[in-house]
Chains A and B, each alone.
Chain A
Amino acid sequence: MSYKVARIDEIDDIDYRQDTHMHPVRYHLGISAFGANAWTVENVGDRLMPEHEEDAGSEELYVVLRGRARFEIGGESVDASAGTLVFVEPLTNRTAFAEEAGTTVLAIGSKVGKAYEVGGWEVWAPVETLYEAGEYEAAIEMAGPIADANPQYGSVLYNLACCEALAGRKEDAIGHLGIALDRRPGLRELAREDSDFDSVREDPAFKELVA
């Protein structure tokens, strides 16, 4: 690819947790050196991004591109008009709400001291609400084609394996976890302690995978 052009409004948004809408900028443009997503809302008061903390080492910069947002970070409130830059350190709780209709925030992120790893988080995002609601069969049905279309993303396969383990589909879970760990060996440590895999924890094939 020599270069690629887009507008945030042209990138289809994904319904994500806590009624948020995320435009997968990194995925759409094929960026692999850092993460980038845009969050948009329709109405005043709507939540722009889910309340969350980032892992140790994960830095995020939020840029208000349009409208006005109210960030809530570590218990403090920050008024952010268009052009405001909000940099949030890892392990700090953050969320944001729109103070004007049509507010748009661009989020950029990567890990300190580590090469950026494309996990495929954005690709999984549409399934996340089903997973959180405990609707594992529905999540598996939705995630199957996504995993098939994006075989390079270890995290997608990992999450699919979680849903399968939770739904009692042990063989499928172990099969997909195996591929996921091939793609992202760093997930092995997570799998060892992830309670989503409790139903397969004593299975010899699982033990071998996480050994």
Chain B
Amino acid sequence: MAAGYKVSSLDDLDYWGYKETQTGRVRHELGITAFGVNSWLGPNVGDRVIPEHAEDQEGDQDELYVVVRGRARFEVGGDTVDAPQGALIYVPAGPNVRTAFAEEPGTMVLAIGATAGRAFEVHGWEYWGPYHDLWVAGDYEGVVAKGRESIEANPHPMPLYNLACCESLAGHSEDAIKHLGMAIELWEDGRDLARKDSDFDPIRDEPGFKELIA
């Protein structure tokens, strides 16, 4: 970014499937590191444009949703909110479950997030997202086959850790130990998590694993 800026378009992003939705990596594409931002696309009326979720864990984010195009129907904490183009929906971290659906074809929603009182950290959620559905389906070999190259090329703790889980479960002990090691190097909390994570039961007695969690 020699000139000090980078330009993209919501139309030029690659949209990939995540939990019944399609999302584009704005933060990643532009190299933003101070806050999180992704776009969500609903090509058809009725398509889900924001996965149903709450931001209710320690460190979870305050989120601002901006309807850039079309019209969305948000469901927030049991309420229904009509959100035409230009609508802003702010949901701070907390127990509110939220999701949204396209009410017009080609609806696009921008989601911006960060944790109040904390410096933004790139955990690499966007790099794990494309393999999430395979992981849920128990297709660990599928995650390894499709995800390994991209996750290694963009080394962030969360996708590396999850890749190691899949490799452990699929019987690739050496790869699992290697990727878990890379994850822990970037993210000290991963060590504690790995100690108790049953995904690592298949490699728990491997000397390399014991050394990592010692």
Binding site for B on A (CB under 8 A): 1-9, 25, 29-34, 36, 57-59, 61, 63, 65-66, 73-74, 76, 78, 80-89, 91-92, 94, 104, 106, 108-116
Contacts and interface: CB of A to CB of B under 8 A. Distances in A.
Given A5-B90, A112-B120, 6 more contacts: A2-B92, A5-B88, A74-B5, A86-B5, A86-B6, A110-B120
24 contacts: A5-B81, A25-B88, A29-B88, A30-B90, A30-B92, A34-B62, A34-B112, A58-B34, A59-B34, A59-B35, A73-B4, A74-B3, A74-B5, A85-B9, A86-B6, A86-B7, A87-B7, A89-B5, A94-B5, A106-B66, A108-B112, A112-B33, A112-B34, A115-B116
B87 A116 contact: no
A66 B86 contact: yes
B91 A83 contact: no
Interface residues of B, number: 53
B62 A87 contact: no
Contact of A6 (B34, B37, B88, B115): B88
B10 A80 contact: no
Where chain A touches its partner, the secondary structure class is strand
Contact of B64 (A29, A83, A84): A29
Contacts of B84: 7
B137 interface: no
Interface in B58-73: 61-62, 64, 66, 68-69
Interface string B87-101: 111111010101000
Given A33-B61, A61-B30, A63-B68, A87 B5 contact: yes
Nearest to B62: A33
A36 B64 contact: yes
B196 interface: no
A81 B26 CA distance: 17
Contacts of A57: 34
A73 B35 contact: no
Contact of B68 (A30, A31, A65, A88): A65
Contacts of A4: 89-90
Contact of A110 (B5, B31, B34): B34
